[in-house]
Structure 1
Amino acid sequence: MSKITDSLPATIIAGIILTILMVFAAQATIGASLGGWQGAPDHASSYTAFIVRWLHVISGVMWIGLLWYFNFVQIPTMPKIPDEHKPGVSKHIAPEALFWFRWGAMATLITGLLLAILSNYLVDALALKLGIGYGMWFAMIMWFNVWFIIWPAQKIALGLVDAPADQKPKAAARAKMFSRINTMLSIPMLYAMVGQSSNGFSM
């Protein structure tokens, strides 16, 4: 087991294999109990949409999980960390977390738009004729904030790019403000997404 858990790629591969085995086991069990293979998609396009939805959820967990990590854990905890230990976070943990944070946002946006296209609701959603449209607009605003406000500001605040010393506190404050905005927007965004999936969206 340690050969799997000592390596993140091996862990991910094991998770994918476990998922495949679960799907086949569940299909076999359901098919046997109902007298035939049940639950398989009728068309390749519907299964493609399902896979895209699955990837969309995985990407969203990565993105929002790290967003909440920054706001619930790292930002409130940094003032409590002794100054001599802070570089361990700012020079090593934060840049790595920001890499997965911004690319999680990108993957969530791309798979979300692709899912809307495959499910034939993109135009209606963007026109706010569907409840999920509100979530999509919130998500796009959040994605913009990540790539064009939070990440550029964090590069200055963390010293990843050359900038005057007096710009770092301003950049850190800007990154924090828009990270909090994204945290705020994530709440109605997730409501819209879950509401769409359960047909329970109401205004």
Structure 2
Amino acid sequence: MSFSLLDLLLRWGHLLFALVWIGHNYANVVQHPRFQPFNGEDSPEARGAALERRMQREHGTFRYASLVVWFTGMGMLAQRGWLADALLLRGHLAVIGMGAWIGTLMLLNLWLVLWPHQKKVLGFVPALLDERVRCSRITFLSSRTNSILSIPLLFFMAAGSHGLALFG
């Protein structure tokens, strides 16, 4: 595969799945503008199998989109020979490197903090009511953290190719 075709595929994959991932963060903020503790009213029986499948599909799409975004971003940097300098924040690649590090933090937050707790809140993993209530606060804060981090992430992504004069 030619360099330019690979670059185009990585760039468009990165952009498309970033819209899915970040779009889910913003939709979450709009749908739930403030914290509402889990109250335990919805039992697994009350939710029903169809709703549970839909929630698993939605959360799965969101989580796996984050992996595609991260791998395509790192792939673009690697295939251009920029990965080491970007991740080590060297020279003009420090700008895009900051975006890469923020994206990495967001990915780790999603997979290592938000998702393990969210599985308990949604009832995918058995947990006592007190644990589910505790986890609801953690998922709220973790999701908000990613939403807030997406703002500087987008800035550094755009500044990497369009705003270097700001950092020169």
TM-score (norm 2): 0.82
Distance 1:183 1:196 in 2: 20
Alpha-carbon separation, structure 2, partners of 1:98 and 1:192: 27
When the two structures are aligned, how many residues end up with a matched partner?
Answer: 156
Q: Which residue is 1:16 aligned to?
A: none
Indicate the SS of the match to 1:202: helix
Corresponding residue of 2:16: 58
Using the TM superposition, give the Cα deviation of residue 151 of structure 1 relative to its aligned residue in structure 2, in angstroms: 0.7
Aligned partner (choices 57, 64, 81) of residue 120 of structure 1: 81
Higher RCO, 1 or 2 (CA under 8 Å, sep at least 6)? 2
Deviation beyond 6 Å, 4+ runs, structure 1: none
Equivalent of residue 103 in structure 1, options 45, 58, 64 = 64
Q: Which letter does structure 2 place at the counterpart of 1:65?
A: G
Structure 1, unaligned runs of 5 or more = 1-42
Q: Would the aligned equivalents of 1:53 and 1:111 in 2 still touch at CA under 8 Å?
A: yes
Counterpart of 2:6, as a letter, is T
Q: Cα RMSD over matched residues?
A: 2.6
Deviations 1:54-112 (A, max 9, x none): 11111111111111111222x23896xxx78x948x74554332111100101101111
Which protein shows a greater Rg?
Answer: 1
What CA deviation, in whole Å up to 9, does each residue of 1:22-72 have, x standing for no partner?
Answer: xxxxxxxxxxxxxxxxxxxxx911221121111111111111111111122
Provide structure 2 residue ranges, at least 5 long, that are not aligned to the other structure. Answer: none
Q: Identity rate of aligned residues, in percent?
A: 29
| Paired residues for 1:1-203 under 5 Å | 44-73=2-31, 75-76=32-33, 87=47, 91=52, 93-129=54-90, 130=93, 131-200=95-164, 202-203=166-167
Alpha-carbon separation, structure 2, partners of 1:120 and 1:49? 12
Q: Could you tell me the TM-score, scaled by structure 1's length?
A: 0.69
Amino acid at match of 1:180: R
